[in-house]
Structure 1
């Protein structure tokens, strides 16, 4: 392949930002769309060398401009709770534009269980979570069938960044009350992933596409129970945090909350990861302790000032 140039989706977000920073540190050219190129997040990544174009994923001309000359494209999307069709529509638009631009390698960051959600003990095909997972499953199929020279699917586990703003909102009033009301079980083991690890895997795949083509890789740095997560958060925040496990009746009352339903379904999500297989790729891994140390000031601000 020629010198890589990569289009990155969601460059101002958790995954996209981590991937862009990793690629730029490897002197790989990065392009992206930004709804507001003047935002602090956009300007900070542009200052590192990324080329940003104004526009969104429904803007075909903006996609064409941003993908010109690119050799690879990294896809990742967050669900639009007002338009469940958006993720698949965006993926199809970017894939079409990437094909027209001569992109050789398409990468997609999907999620745990997307390939076989029916294996989840509490899988409900009529739930909001099912809508999200099946949409991502359809995108995975688009990626496999699109005809690019190389394709790679990454499936990250539970983001360590979920315990910091803005994502921590999914855990209700945890920062304020210090109590995590959760639909997980005390014995649940969560496959935790640092966004920097996603960035390292994506960069490794882009720089060595023949090694990673056709691969579907579940990503986790560490397996932790809720109590272990809170113990480490507490130590960093300087404040005691604890978990309260919801009864089935409470979960039923809150079944309209997609975050509660998601936690309920995640009780056996760990079945999808083989840590030895993840480590066999010989890509440097992280840990929750390393993530917390890197973000310790933000952790303290989040959990101390909110109290």
Structure 2
């Protein structure tokens, strides 16, 4: 099995890069689909043993050629795409995988994907792609990563002023995932197709309340950090943020994920505190500067 090749789409992105590196470390062949093979990130993958395939998501011929004779495909689309382009590219990739008879297709969706349309295009894009996967590739695996830990340390959270503002209630909870864990989860899925074929698998590395966030950030930064939820006025002015906040209370993002099951799939599960001390440290240092 380990001599088989997986095509990793978006291989120089956060998810794709983590998946490509983890698969290579576990002995899989990796074909990395990249826009520009001359970039440092692409060159690094090539040096690690990946075979590079260049093209764009609009280039159907290059995508089809990249899928030639591979066992599996990992599809994760850039967050920078418009909702319309995300659906267009995402469904076209599924069409090609079905045409090429890919044995194991793995689509990285999102934990906010639900069954009821929200009316907000970017939140409804992934469920539309998921429905297409179910129709054409019923043996595929759909992964729903929780909120990326990286997103918790974006500018404007107030850490430089000794506070941290986010979407979750003080005693509410959000589930988060590290990018490194996504690579390990995906590798585990490809390692055991029989177990994960046809499954929808939510992914999380840790579960945090607002109080947990404050405690972890206080410990990591060495200074007191107070937590507060974003004001209602801010949420009401931003439909995307308002939808996520509501989803954390009673929508798809509020559904608990069994961390013991996550650890059974990925024994090296990364807690938020461990992430802050390692991969997240540069982001924390930058956020503390303001």
TM-score, normalisation: structure 2: 0.87
Query: 2:135 aligned with 1:151, yes or no?
Result: no
SS in 1 for 2:52: strand
1:90–1:177: structure 2 CA closer, same or farther, 3 Å change rule?
farther
Contact 1:160 1:193 in 2 (8 A): yes
Matches within 5 A, 1:245-260: 245-252=229-236, 254-255=237-238, 258-259=240-241
Give the 3 Å change call, closer, same or farther, for CA 297–136 of structure 1 in structure 2.
closer
Following the alignment from structure 1 to structure 2, what is the Cα–Cα distance between the partners of residues 58 and 239? 48
Normalised by the size of structure 1, how large is the TM-score? 0.82
Q: Structure 1 175/97 Cα, relative in aligned 2: closer, same or farther at 3 Å?
A: farther
Q: 1:51 to 1:16 in 2, by over 3 A?
A: same
Gaps of 5+ in 1: 119-124
Whole-angstrom CA distance in 2 between matches of 1:88 and 1:162? 23
Q: Provide the C-alpha distance between the structure 2 equivalents of 1:274 and 1:222, rounded to a whole number of angstroms.
A: 9
Match of 2:50 in 1: 50
Alignment partner, residue 271 of structure 1: 254
Aligned counterparts of 2:246 and 2:137: Cα–Cα separation in 1: 37
Aligned to 1:139: 129
Q: Deviations over 1:40-81 (max 9, x none)?
A: 222222322222222211111221232222110111124446
Q: Secondary structure of 1:47's match? A: helix
Give 1:156 deviation, angstroms. Answer: 1.2
CA contact (8 A) 2:247 2:253 kept: no
The Cα offsets for residues 71-125 of structure 1, whole Å up to 9 and x where unpaired, read as 10111124446x321112112222232234331111111111413357xxxxxx3
Measure, in 1, the Cα distance between the counterparts of 2:185 and 2:7: 16
Q: Matched residues in 1 for 2:13 and 2:225: separation?
A: 27
Cα 1:117–1:12 change in 2 (3 A) is farther
**Which string of whole-angstrom CA distances, capped at 9 and with x for unpartnered residues, describes residues 158-178 of structure 1?**
2112234xxx24xx3545545
Question: 2:105 matched to which residue of 1?
Answer: 106
- SS of 2:238's partner is coil
Q: Which segments of structure 1 move beyond 6 Å, counting only runs of 4 or more?
A: none
Matched-pair contact (CA < 8 Å) for 1:80–1:87: no
In the comparison of the two structures, how many residue pairs are matched?
A: 288
Give the whole-Å Cα distance in 2 for the aligned partners of 1:177 and 1:38.
41
> How far 1:11 moved relative to its partner?
1.5
Indicate if the aligned counterparts of 1:236 and 1:296 stay in contact, CA closer than 8 A. no
Question: What is aligned with 2:35?
Answer: 35
